[in-house]
Structures are given as structure tokens and as C-alpha cells.
Amino acid sequence: MSNSTIGSSYGAASSLVIVLIWVFFSAQILLLGAEFTQVYTQRYQSK
């Protein structure tokens, strides 16, 4: 393999890793929002 091929492979792999990290953090934010909504609804629904 030449250096340009190795660099291109690392570039593609790093792009995939960045997308996976972005999806992970987006899912965490979504789950945090759902948890907050559930707690808020349970706390203030009875009033």
C-alpha cells in the first residue's frame, strides 16, 4: 500500500467514527429529554 492509500483509509475510518460518536450523543440527548419529560409529567400531572 502506498502512503496515500493508507491516509485515505484512515480518513474514511475517522469519518465513520465521528458519525458514530455524533449518533451516540444525539441518542443520549433524546433519551435525556424523554426522561425529563416523564419526570416532569409525573410530578406536575396531579396538580
The rounded distance, in Å, linking the Cα atoms of 14 and 6 is: 12
Task: Write down the pTM of the prediction.
Answer: 0.69
Asked if residue 5 is part of any domain, the answer here is no
Band of residue 10 on the pLDDT scale cut at 50, 70, 90 = confident
- pLDDT, one tens digit per residue, over 20-42 is 999 999 999 999 999 999 999 99
Does residue 4 fall inside a structural domain?
no
* 15 has pLDDT over 70: yes
pLDDT of 3 strictly over 80: no
Grid-cell match 433519551, residue found: 31
Query: What cell does 44 get?
Result: 406536575
- Structural domain including 30 reads 20-47
10 located within any domain? no
Establish if 47 belongs to a structural domain.
yes
Average pLDDT, the chain: 88
All three cell numbers of 37, joined, read: 419529560
